[in-house]
Chains A and B, each alone.
Chain A
Amino acid sequence: MATGERTWERPTVFRRREIKWAVYAGIVGFFLWSGWGVGADPARIAQGLGSLTSLLGDFFPPTATPRQATRIFEKMLESVAMAMVSTVTGIVLSIPIAFMAAENLSPKPLYALNRGFISISRAFNAIIIAIIAVKAIGFGPLAGIITITFKTVGFFSKLLAEDLEDIDMGSVDAVRAAGASPIQTLLYGVVPQIIPRFAGLSVYRWDINIRTSTIIGIVGAGGIGSVLLTAFNRYDYQYVTAILLAIVAVVLVAEGVSAVVRRRYQ
């Protein structure tokens, strides 16, 4: 047998090799276009990197006068407070929306409507929502609370609805067969099945909300972000570094707490 000419080729996802190379060429071409589009010429990058070293000298060491330190502390408290309140409001609003967005519990039109709302909430970055909220109701933490609540509802009801779709309908039917009213069916058939996931998701979202609340101040929605933007605008870079360190610290603490609590519920 003439097996000498047979070679093995690794199978690819593409149907033919020509298509594969065409796709690769297309991708590379697109990146070149992107590079040209954003003005990423080597000279400019080199110049930026050159100024980076001297800039890092401006950023370090982090310093804050006692008054600035108090300001960081107060505004950080505001950020955390915003996250606390809007986690609760967001979750409370999410519960009915999640039930209406679960395919097995909700009639079709209601399902589509709530899914649409979830997609809209998830598509827009928190900063976009914040800037609109600030224009609508004015500067301050209230705009921040509305922003984070809105983002929480999209995230939370999506994941909760997916959990609701995965529940064991057998126990729901059993409760219903025992003569329970629709409300009782939800309370005793559905709710006990999702409580552990619910707790885990709440803490996870709280963690994300702390992160979000530290930045939306950049567009005027309360919290530490406003201090950061002011410091940047005044070229007070050592103060900027101090604020950034405070943000990183708070984010890490929130992440740690959230991880510990979620492990207990799993």
Chain B
Amino acid sequence: MATDDYRWERFDRRRRLGRFVAVLVAAVVVLGSWEFMDISVTRPETIPREIGDLLTRMYPPDVAYTTEIVGPLIETIHIAALGTVGALVLSLPVALIAAENTTPNAATFWLGKLIVTVSRSVNTIIWALFFVVVFGSGPLAGAVAIAFRSVGFLGKLLGEEIEEIDFGQVEAIRASGASPTQILLYGVLPQVKPALVGLSIYRWDINIRDSTVLGFVGAGGIGVQLFRAVNAFAWQSVAMVLLVILGVVVVTESLSAYTRGLVR
């Protein structure tokens, strides 16, 4: 049999052409972006040297600086905790109206979606800029910023959990003559409680990371100390602050993973 001229090919000609065009477009966009930014004045080959230089200046970390970090660090942890609680309180109604099966009508459903979207697309640091204007600089603005940023995350994921609950239980509670509040308390809440706890802890973990930078715009926490050290070119102090942040984040992450393992 003359099977010699058969060849197996993964893609036919049209798809190959399509892939080629896609790669070409991507390459042009990336090269065009590089040209657009006009950064050829700085020679790229100096970057590794600059960074190496920075690292040698950071070593060894200034251990004596630790005493000045402890206060702001505790403040950071407070901001994250309070922001998470605030977000939890605010996100419960948002989640209820953003879930298709518990929202009263189409208008409230879209309102819920809108709140979720706006909260998620505006970064914590931008929320912080805004709330520094409202509350004045300090950790309170930071905590409120963290809360507003987290509402979208919690509202979205909690809403998805609510959409997946067993509605039979809710109807059973309603059939026994419960008021709307009681239906929420005994029909909906028990079914989403594990997810509620897990998501809150997960968000708290993220919030600890986020709250380390709030100080750059005057919203309190360890970022203030870091900003000050960087502006003074006190690289050894900077290294110390970075080490402390790394430690806290690692501890938070393992604590969060452990607790989420318990509720799952």
Contact = CB atoms under 8 A, between A and B. Distances in A.
Interface of A: 13, 30-31, 33-35, 37-40, 44-45, 48, 51-52, 55, 77-78, 80-82, 84-85, 88, 119-120, 123-125, 127-128, 131-132, 135-138, 140-142, 145-146, 211, 214-215, 218-219, 222, 228-229, 232, 237, 244, 247-248, 251-252, 255
Interface stretch (B74-82, B101-109, B155-163, B164-172): B74-82
B246 A81 contact: no
B5 interface: no
B226 interface: yes
9 contacts: A34-B79, A38-B140, A81-B37, A123-B246, A127-B216, A135-B54, A142-B39, A232-B133, A244-B126
Contacts of A140: 39, 42
A125 B122 contact: no
Interface of B is mostly: helix
Interface centre among A39, A51, A55 (most CB of B within 10 A): A39
Given A125-B213, A232-B133, A251 B246 contact: no
B261 to A, nearest CB: 10
Contacts of B29: 84
A141 B34 CA distance: 10
Contact of A248 (B46, B118, B143, B220): B118
A52 B130 CA distance: 10
B92 to A, nearest CB: 16
B1 interface: no
A137 B42 contact: yes
A122 B81 CA distance: 20
Given A52-B134, A82-B37, A131-B216, A125 B209 contact: yes
Contacts of B263: 13
Question: Chain A interface secondary structure, helix, strand, loop or mixed?
Answer: helix
A18 B81 CA distance: 24
Given A128-B242, A247-B122, A55 B134 contact: yes
B139 interface: yes
Given A37-B75, A232-B133, A125 B212 contact: yes
A144 B137 CA distance: 26
Contacts of B74: 37
A219 B78 contact: no
A59 to B, nearest CB: 8
Contacts of B135: 44-45, 48
B142 A85 contact: no
A57 to B, nearest CB: 13
B125 A215 contact: yes
B250 A85 contact: no
Contacts of A244: 122, 126
B217 A218 contact: yes
Which 4 A-B residue pairs are closest in the complex by CB-CB distance?
A81-B33, A38-B139, A34-B78, A37-B78
A77 B36 contact: yes
A130 B135 CA distance: 27
Contacts of B246: 119-120, 123-124
